[in-house]
Structure 1
Amino acid sequence: MALAAAGLLMVSGTCTSSAQGRGTAGPAGESGGLSGTAACPGLDGFSCATLTVPLDHSGAVRGRLGLKVAMGDNVDAPKGVLLFLTGGPGQPGVPFVEGIGKAMAPVLKDYRLVMIDQRGTGGTALQCPGLQEQMGASDLTPPTADAVRDCAAAIGPNRRFYATGDTVADLELLRRALGVRKMTLDGVSYGTYTAERYALAHPGRVARMVLDSVVPQTGYDPMDLAAMRAAPRVLRQACESIGCTTDPAADLAEVVATYGNGVDVLDAITTWEFVDPDYADMIDALHQAAEGAPGLLNGLIQGTRQGNAASAEELSQGLHAATLCLDGHYPWGRSDAPVAGRRDALEKAAGELTPADHGPFDAATATGLGSMLSCLDWPRTPAPPLPAAHRRLPGVPVLLLGGDRDLSTPLEWLYDQKKLTPHAEVVVVHGAAHSVQSRATSDEGRQAVHDFLLGR
């Protein structure tokens, strides 16, 4: 999407309160709320605590998780709690509170900023060394089947408790522990999907929402077809902005057709937006490869793979796989489909694709991405219920924010979500890529967020 590469820079200022792991023995049922509240070390104006939540919100399986939380000390903020949700799935929240606090400084006299390490991230990160090494911070890099199966085995049967719905239930316990009637939600990338799911589950508990780099509530397409179709538009816009004289869309089509490397190229292009939203080196590399000299492109592909290296504490690929497999719809169905028939279903779906579906890429790209392969070999797991696909968000003010150079969550997704958002304001920042609030050079998007949150 790349949902994993959520676009937030790692910053200092973390909580050190203890967090329990994958579910220690203890009574099932609701949590006891926040505990261990103390000043966040090295971070002025914030307190850190642990939110204790049940591993299984139904109470059928015993166990608890301790999730780190950072909270602004301005408990009487007139506009209440602003819960900022990071992406992935798999990215923690608390390590980013200092940086997000600086970006949101103009509104923090009115709002109390709160961030949380969602279950399976940060201090409770699901550990899958093989999958982590192969995928790093990407969700498009293809993993091996062995790495996927080893990861699922390492997590064990508890992998069924890491769907977005489980995180939504955790957030409702957080709201109660904070003692507020409603929260304002600001989500980035996968954080937008979490925010949407929370609003659908608890419509009366949301005051307003910022959705930055939007994943629609209908879910993520593991074939990434919207990004494939958007690539020509994005590359041509970037080319025009830097005055290049080539046609990067034609070059892209030629490269994929000649070298059959669509998965590698899409992975590299999607990652490159975090390096340079003008895609200058990538455009040059595509042109050289189309002319028969793929050396520069191959170097960029290898470089992006190396640059995507990340620890589980930075972005847990175990949590990433567990959540996407539970939440997703695949050619074979959902996570409870028998493993034996999945590959046949995938091959059948590939045969039904047309060039209009995948643009300059090919069917092999659509069916060979890490977002697909991570779940192809994921063991059969009970699938949690999902909200009705076309339920509309509650009628609260919503800001939909995106960059027109974003391939991780292309603008087409933003407009898909707009159809299901009754009171949507849309702001598109030209020249910006993924995660507008934290990464865009222009202040246009951040100013739009500030004005929206302050009701201007």
Structure 2
Amino acid sequence: MPAAAPAGRSGGLSGAAACPGVEGFTCATLTVPLDHSGGTPGRLGLKVAMADNVRAPKGVLLFLTGGPGQPGVPFVQGLSRKLAPVLKDYRLVMIDQRGTGAGALQCPRLQQEMGSSDLTPPTARAVTDCAAAIGGDRRFYGTTDTVGDLELLRRALGVRRMTLDGVSYGTYTAERYALAHPGHVARLVLDSVVPQTGYDPMDRAAMRAAPRVLTAACRATGCTTDPAADLAEVVERYRDGADVLDALTTWEFVDPDYAAMIDALHRAANGDPGPLQGLIAGVRQGGAATAEELSQGLHASTLCLDGRYPWGRADAPVAGRRAALEKAGARLTPADYGPFDPATATGLGSMLSCLYWPRTPVRPLPSPHRRLPGVPVLLLGGDRDLSTPLEWLHDQQRLTPRAKVVVVPGAAHSVQNRAADDRGRQAVYDFLLGR
């Protein structure tokens, strides 16, 4: 269970003090209701870090991390360096979204099995133990609940509008906030886009994008193999598509050129799977994360509440889910999964977590097909990204009236934070400063 909030009215900031070790920032606690409808009592205390330039001429820049499950406050120092060129004009604010950071939902077995991965398949026992540990409160950890928290944060900050900068799943949160509160958004930066229509638990866009990404990386580095053909051969020969896709979407954080992965795929396609198996094992080991770093309990709670699955939503009976999933897998064609196979699409961790998740009440979701409000929006992506492939960015572009699109060649996930090329960061600076 998450820690109870300190005394104080809901929506208020309390306990303000200098952020430890971070000059120029004040940390405080935002008290929010567990249930924004008021039907269930309880409050949560969410940590917030706020730059001290309260009178910044362009107002608040709220930076939203992803996962879902990542905190925000621990990253404020690093982000303040990345965003330094705009922080005379903006007041940077970051928040530990509900269920993250110091208030992380704790699920030890699921945390151990999945670490920081979206796609590592968990055991049913780890998932059901996690849901039982969170209890009935798990219905209050969807993105709709976080959007309610962000609106209380805006009021507590005393501003009429905010600029939101989201990365990865933080883009989805920013989009959902903009749809719910269009009059309170000044600008949006959406980096490594999850479209407002939602995350696909079959990850079909990533499966289809893998040949494009690997081929581009191969050409850029002068490799002499055919990674797209090697990938198809490996999946067909070893039937390990879920493990391979998991490793690929993690490897982009290690090397957006995928050099070791391309070589290992070629060796495996020619009968030597040892190097590839070693990379897969290394990715699993290196992806270990504590709940405070990325809460898998929050990750599962949010995805299962937000998502639409072959069986419906989280309130669908558990008994019929497996049959619905198998039926959906049988309907897939190669156009859906590219060089992978139906077993990959139906066997990913994001799918299995919610297959095993106990039946949970859900609330209606807003229409995912409404266009974003007509404020300036920057859609930013890297052409080597498999976690949030460019196809998702273009899906969101169709629902964004005032979209500026910047694609950084050779960059993978989280362009502002990780790209070696400065073009993406410069695009953010120019956009935020109105150049």
Q: Given the two structures, how large is their TM-score scaled by the length of structure 1?
A: 0.94
Secondary structure (helix, strand or coil) at the match of 1:230 reads: helix
Secondary structure (helix, strand or coil) at the match of 1:210 reads: strand
CA distance in 2, matches of 1:42, 1:264: 40
1:240-389 maps to which residues of 2 (within 5 A)? Answer: 240-389=219-368
Structure 1 residue identity aligned to 2:115: G
Match of 2:120 in 1: 141
Match of 2:180 in 1: 201
Question: In structure 1, which of residues 158, 171, 176 is the aligned counterpart of residue 137 of structure 2?
Answer: 158
CA distance in 2, matches of 1:308, 1:390: 34
Residues 26-76 of structure 1 deviation map (CA, whole Å, 9 limit, x = unaligned) = 89xx71410011111111110000000000001111100000000000000
Secondary structure (helix, strand or coil) at the match of 1:312 reads: coil
Aligned-pair CA distance for 1:23: 4.5
Match of 2:70 in 1: 91
Structure 2 residue identity aligned to 1:218: T
Residues 185-209 of structure 1 deviation map (CA, whole Å, 9 limit, x = unaligned) = 0000000000000000000000000
CA distance in 2, matches of 1:407, 1:255: 18
Secondary structure (helix, strand or coil) at the match of 1:320 reads: helix
CA distance in 1, matches of 2:11, 2:345: 45
Structure 2 residue identity aligned to 1:261: D
Secondary structure (helix, strand or coil) at the match of 1:49 reads: strand
CA distance in 2, matches of 1:43, 1:378: 39
Q: Rate the CA distance shift 1:443–1:24 in 2: closer, same or farther, 3 A.
A: closer
Aligned-pair CA distance for 1:385: 1.7
Structure 1 residue identity aligned to 2:140: F
CA distance in 2, matches of 1:230, 1:248: 12
Residues 100-148 of structure 1 deviation map (CA, whole Å, 9 limit, x = unaligned) = 0000000000000000000000011000000000000001000000000
Match of 2:154 in 1: 175
Structure 1 residue identity aligned to 2:181: H
CA distance in 2, matches of 1:325, 1:32: 26
Question: In structure 1, which of residues 81, 105, 123 is the aligned counterpart of residue 84 of structure 2?
Answer: 105
Q: Rate the CA distance shift 1:243–1:410 in 2: closer, same or farther, 3 A.
A: same
Aligned-pair CA distance for 1:411: 0.1
CA distance in 2, matches of 1:110, 1:304: 40
Aligned-pair CA distance for 1:22: 4.6
CA distance in 2, matches of 1:80, 1:448: 19
Q: Given the two structures, how large is their TM-score scaled by the length of structure 2?
A: 0.99
Question: In structure 1, which of residues 21, 34, 42 is the aligned counterpart of residue 2 of structure 2?
Answer: 21
Question: In structure 1, which of residues 423, 427, 430 is the aligned counterpart of residue 409 of structure 2?
Answer: 430
Unaligned runs of 5+ in 1: 1-19
Match of 1:394 in 2: 373
Match of 1:50 in 2: 29
Contact 1:26–1:62 under 8 Å retained in 2: no
Unaligned runs of 5+ in 2: none
Structure 2 residue identity aligned to 1:222: P
Contact 1:25–1:63 under 8 Å retained in 2: no
Match of 2:217 in 1: 238
Contact 1:81–1:183 under 8 Å retained in 2: yes
Match of 2:397 in 1: 418
Contact 1:91–1:315 under 8 Å retained in 2: yes
Q: Rate the CA distance shift 1:22–1:219 in 2: closer, same or farther, 3 A.
A: farther
Cα root mean square deviation, aligned = 1.1
Contact 2:208–2:339 under 8 Å retained in 1: yes
Secondary structure (helix, strand or coil) at the match of 2:151 reads: helix
Aligned-pair CA distance for 1:403: 0.1
Structure 1 residue identity aligned to 2:72: G
Structure 1 residue identity aligned to 2:136: P
CA distance in 1, matches of 2:20, 2:96: 16
Match of 2:96 in 1: 117
Structure 2 residue identity aligned to 1:306: Q
CA distance in 2, matches of 1:384, 1:296: 46
CA distance in 2, matches of 1:213, 1:268: 18
Question: In structure 2, which of residues 87, 105, 113 is the aligned counterpart of residue 126 of structure 1?
Answer: 105
Structure 1 residue identity aligned to 2:103: T
Structure 2 residue identity aligned to 1:373: L
Residues 133-183 of structure 1 deviation map (CA, whole Å, 9 limit, x = unaligned) = 000000100000000000000000000000000000000000000000000
Structure 2 residue identity aligned to 1:251: D
Contact 2:182–2:373 under 8 Å retained in 1: yes
CA distance in 2, matches of 1:352, 1:26: 53
Contact 2:5–2:45 under 8 Å retained in 1: no
Secondary structure (helix, strand or coil) at the match of 2:146 reads: helix
Structure 2 residue identity aligned to 1:21: P
Q: Rate the CA distance shift 1:437–1:25 in 2: closer, same or farther, 3 A.
A: closer
Match of 1:12 in 2: none
Contact 1:78–1:111 under 8 Å retained in 2: yes
Question: In structure 2, which of residues 355, 377, 386 is the aligned counterpart of residue 407 of structure 1?
Answer: 386
